[in-house]
Chain A
Amino acid sequence: MPEYTAKIKGISARLLKEEKVEIVIGFRKGTIPMMNEPCFVKTPEDVKELVWDSNCGINLANYLTNRKEKIGIIAKGCDSRNIVTHIIENKIKREQLFIIGVPCKGMVDKNKITSMFENEINEVSEVEENIIVKGEGFEKTLNKNDVLQENCKICIHRNPVLYDELAADLLDEQKNIDRYEDVRKIEAMATEDKWKYFKDLLSPCIRCYACRNACPLCYCPTCFVDESRPQWVGKSLDTTDTRTFHFLRAYHCAGRCTDCGACERACPMGIKVRTFTKKLEKDCLELYGWEAGLSLDERPPLDTYRPDDPEGFIK
């Protein structure tokens, strides 16, 4: 990964020096291990802060909404797809952006790694495919493929779809991936079992809305959870309200979600919130042949129609 970092720094410094962009949005080391944080670099001197490794899971497209200046942005596969979605939805203009594409080899799941050790982890570094975890009285080397985020394991768009310059050579995409195994498993359940499955899934939810805030698709000026007249979703921890929140959050992402995993990564309770959005993603693919964020020229599925759309469920 050091070669990625060096290239990103080089491109960013050049862009800022030539005044092609006013800021570069990228990642810097966080204050605790495995928590790289987004950073806005404004001068060529500050590019030294930028890093790239397997802890850059946050979706940077989230920071583009309604910005007015010229922006350089570092984009892995999913980020670039969300940038496309942002452009389609008029949240940013293509001309404002200089996209530094990063072919992505997957991000690690910090919860998975943390749960493997009893003591606190003080340092995490990586060499090629190995993740070296150090803490009080232990040091262990993990294989990166064993600790990847769930969505990265089944990712089929690792290369950025839209970019102005690449920070590394394009990768071979993963082939023969079954993206919807877990969704099909739930679909096959009896109604009552489905109800119980989601009851258990959502029981730890504390309604912090971190999943919403981390999501680049959630930019409404007033979110439905904050609406009070009428109040669609109660503020309490009532299970009905919690389920309504998750239902509507997912539904708002229908045909837009790129399965970047930002929501799941942000969840402090480790809830697999992608379970909802993946169902919609699967339906959009099966019913309308749609995958979000792949092209600037196609309208998203809920913004268009075909006269012969499936309607077997309508009397």
Chain B
Amino acid sequence: MENWEPRIVCFLCNWCSYGAADLAGVSRMQYPPNVRVIRIPCTGRMSPKFVLAAFMKGADGVWVSGCHPGDCHYLEGNYYARRKFALFKNLIEYMGIEPGRLHFSWISSAESTKFASVVKEVSSAVKALGPRNHFIKTMPKVG
């Protein structure tokens, strides 16, 4: 258990948080290697299905990050996303998933330091919870 490292699936908006990750990389910033990045066109593209699918396939945590409100490339995508996320997060916690498994953030493409610090924050929160034992789809044993 001491050596256990969480696997965190993160969905980053193409126009900001993904850029921040890029900038953090070219700036040689150090952050935990626990995140697996999936690029999405906008947080407005985020569907609850993506999060559930990540959990079902064994992700220990999910993190979604996009542009600050008012800075959306598509003007208002993240405003709509914010409402969807609020309801979604409440519902998933209501059903018995730990609050520390699902994270949201706004990170602009210039905020590489924020990116690195949020990765640290998310990784340590998920690590503290330990491996996830619910809501994992296991294949039936054959033979």
Contacts and interface: CB of A to CB of B under 8 A. Distances in A.
Contact of B83 (A193, A196, A301): A301
Interface string A303-314: 101010111011
B9 to A, nearest CB: 15
B88 A251 contact: yes
Nearest to A312: B86
Nearest to A238: B137
B52 to A, nearest CB: 6
A302 B118 contact: no
A224 B49 contact: yes
Contacts of A307: 69-70, 79
A288 interface: yes
Nearest to B81: A305
A37 B81 CA distance: 40
Interface string A239-279: 01101100110110011000000000000000000001001
B96 A244 contact: no
Interface stretch (A91-99, A123-131, A184-192): A184-192
A234 interface: yes
Interface string B78-103: 01101111111111111111110001
A235 interface: no
Nearest to B49: A232
A148 interface: no
A283 interface: yes
Contacts of B124: none
A68 interface: no
B96 A198 contact: yes
Contact of A230 (B53, B82, B85): B53
Interface string B39-83: 000000000110011001000000000000110000010011011
Given A193-B96, A311-B69, A315-B106, 11 more contacts: A191-B93, A224-B49, A238-B137, A240-B135, A243-B95, A251-B88, A287-B83, A287-B87, A302-B83, A305-B80, A307-B79
Interface of B: 48-49, 52-53, 56, 69-70, 76, 79-80, 82-99, 103-106, 118, 121, 134-138
Interface of A: 183, 186-187, 191-198, 224, 230, 232, 234, 238, 240-241, 243-244, 247-248, 250-251, 254-255, 276, 279-280, 283-284, 287-288, 301-303, 305, 307, 309-311, 313-315
